[in-house]
Amino acid sequence: MYDIVGFGEVLIRLSTQNFNRLEQATALDIRVGGAELNCVVTAQRLGMKCGYVTRLAKNPLGRMAFNKIREQGIDASYVLWSDTDRQGLNFLEFGAMPRPSATFYDRANSAISRIQPGMVDWDKIFAETKAFHCTGITPALSPNCLAATAEALKKAKAQGVQVSFDLNYRVKLWSSEQANAGLSPLMKYVDILVTTEEDVFRVFQLKGADWNDVARKLVDKFGFKIVCITLREDITVWRNNWTAIALKDGQIYEDRKYDIEVVDRVGAGDNFAGGFLYAYMTKDGDVQTALKYGNACAVLKHSNAGDYAFYTKEEVETLVAGKGSLRIAR
């Protein structure tokens, strides 16, 4: 039934307008997102059938999150509800040189943070699932979230479901030492690791001669089938370069470097993961093509507001084919 199932928190994102700081804001833009959800939304928009597992507050904010999941065509049959817990919030300030954009979490004791092992019928879900995607964010929310993530990964591996994991280290949620201790034991269940140039060192303290070397060290240490490392160069707050590499079976795959004008960079890595998984699963395991799709999805995400993918499969494939144009589409 499902090509990909995601698991994680759904956040209500409240961002400032006109580059205001939060303390001076008089209005906030409200959107819904979350790392794992952003990934499966991308895959769904490209044509896959996706489901999502989370735990939501039974209040207007939880219902907003639920509606936004379904709005994108994601199956929400396995969403859990809490009568007493709250929905997590994410406040975002958009910066400008020399002040970077900044995120402020208000997610302590959220509905998902109180999830427990045994609450989700993973056996039933994975009996009809090809791939499972989660990240290092959910395990950071609480000890029981770490245990619930471990349960899901073990169940997925036991049923032969392909596991994708985005390291997604968040310094505001736990220390590097806590992340290493919590995530390292989970890596034996992971087939595809997606990470950034910074997070590999911050979580696993791995360094190399270059990022190709780092990818090889990750495979040597944990036995991943595929490692993807996204590479961002911050020229200014609103001008970035982006590319990524991938490693499979000892071979390094590379793609072009994109020059990006940033509208909203939040969720770019999640969109990369969704695009990579889509192409890897539908293009006969062609890693080079999957890398191109992942990068195209990531850079297109920068061009629209919010965490989600608001672009079409045709736009992605135009970039993949190297046929993009800056002329007005008439």
Please tell me whether the peptide bond between 98 and the residue prior to it is cis, using omega within 30 degrees of 0. yes
Domain count, the chain: 1
Could you tell me what percent of the chain has a pLDDT over 90? 97
Residue 259 lies in a domain: yes
In this predicted structure, the answer to whether residue 178 has a pLDDT above a threshold of 60 is yes
Instruction: Convert the chain into a string of H (helix), E (strand) and C (coil).
Output: CEEEEEECCCEEEEEECCCCCHHHCCCEEEEEECHHHHHHHHHHHHCCCEEEECEEECCHHHHHHHHHHHHCCCECCCCEEECCCECCEEEEECCECCECCEEEEECCCECHHHCCCCCCCHHHHHCCEEEEEEECCHHHCCHHHHHHHHHHHHHHHHCCCEEEEECCCCCCCCCHHHHHHHHHHHHHHCCEEEEECCHHHHHHCCCCCCHHHHHHHHHHHHCCCEEEEEEEEEEECCEEEEEEEEEECCEEEECCCEEEECCCCCCHHHHHHHHHHHHHHHCCCCHHHHHHHHHHHHHHHCCCCCCCCCCCHHHHHHHHCCCCCCCCCC
Q: Are 12 and 90 in contact (CB under 8 A)?
A: yes
Average pLDDT over residues 267-296: 97
Instruction: Tell me what pLDDT residue 93 has.
Output: 96
Average pLDDT over residues 67-71: 97
Residue 23 lies in a domain: no
The one-letter amino acid code at 42 reads T
In this predicted structure, the answer to whether residue 327 has a pLDDT above a threshold of 90 is no
Instruction: Tell me what pLDDT residue 325 has.
Output: 65
The domain of 169 spans 35-87+118-320
In this predicted structure, the answer to whether residue 170 has a pLDDT above a threshold of 90 is yes
Residue 206 lies in a domain: yes
What is the rounded CA–CA span in Å between residue 219 and residue 228?
11
**pTM for this structure?**
0.96
CATH label of the domain that carries residue 155: 3.40.1190.20
Residue 103 lies in a domain: no
Q: Which residue has the tokens 């030492």?
A: 177
Tokens representing residue 173 in the block:
């949620």
Residue 252 lies in a domain: yes
**Of the listed 270, 284, 286, 307, which one is catalytic?**
270
Instruction: Tell me what pLDDT residue 197 has.
Output: 83
Residue 11 lies in a domain: no
**Other residues' Cβ atoms within 10 Å of the Cβ of residue 43:** 29
Q: Would residue 270 show up in a list of annotated catalytic residues for this protein? A: yes
Instruction: Give Cα 232 distance to the centre of its chain.
Output: 15
What is the rounded CA–CA span in Å between residue 32 and residue 13?
6
In this predicted structure, the answer to whether residue 288 has a pLDDT above a threshold of 60 is yes
pLDDT in tens, 20-57: 999 999 999 999 999 999 999 999 999 999 999 999 99
Instruction: Tell me what pLDDT residue 323 has.
Output: 83
Could you tell me what percent of the chain has a pLDDT over 70? 98
Residue 13 lies in a domain: no
Instruction: Tell me what pLDDT residue 328 has.
Output: 52
pLDDT in tens, 155-167: 999 999 999 999 9
| Average pLDDT score, the chain | 96
Residue 159 lies in a domain: yes
pLDDT in tens, 183-233: 999 999 999 999 998 999 999 999 999 999 999 999 999 999 999 999 999
Average pLDDT over residues 71-100: 96
Q: Are 36 and 7 in contact (CB under 8 A)?
A: yes
What is the rounded CA–CA span in Å between residue 57 and residue 127?
27
pLDDT in tens, 119-155: 999 999 999 999 999 999 999 999 999 999 999 999 9
Q: Are 183 and 203 in contact (CB under 8 A)?
A: yes
